[in-house]
Amino acid sequence: MTVVYLVLATLATYRAARMIALEDGPFDVFTRIQERAGQKSWVGRGLACPLCISFWLALPAALVVGQNDWRGLALMWLGIAGGAVVLHRVIQ
C-alpha cells in the first residue's frame, strides 16, 4: 500500500505545484499571490517555479504518507519531490 500512497503523493504534489506556479486559480487567487510576492524576492521567484514549489509541497505529502523516523521522512520527502521533477520533465 505504501507504493500506492507514494505515487498518489507524487501526483498530488506535482499537480498542486503546477497549479500554483502556472495557473491563475479560481478567482485569480494564485495570480494575486504571485503579484503580491513580486519577482524581486526569493519567495516571489520561487512561486513562479513548479519545481521549487514541488520541493516544499512534498514535505506535507511525506508527512501524510507517514514515516516513523526522520530518515524515512527525509527519504520520502526527497523521493516525492524527485518524482514531481521527473513528471515535470516528461510532460514538458
The CA dihedral of 33, 36, 39, 44, to the nearest 10 degrees, is -40
Overall average pLDDT of the 21-35 stretch: 86
Q: Could you tell me the pLDDT band of residue 36, with boundaries at 50, 70 and 90?
A: confident
How far is residue 62's CA from residue 73's CA, in Å, rounded to a whole number? 6
Whether residue 39 has pLDDT greater than 80: no
Overall average pLDDT of the 51-61 stretch: 94
How far is residue 31's CA from residue 81's CA, in Å, rounded to a whole number? 23
Q: Could you tell me the pLDDT band of residue 28, with boundaries at 50, 70 and 90?
A: confident
Indicate the pTM of the whole model: 0.85
**Angle at alpha carbon of residue 89, lines to 48 and 50, rounded to 5°:** 15
Q: Could you tell me the pLDDT band of residue 38, with boundaries at 50, 70 and 90?
A: confident
Whether residue 1 has pLDDT greater than 80: no
Whether residue 10 has pLDDT greater than 90: yes
How far is residue 18's CA from residue 27's CA, in Å, rounded to a whole number? 17
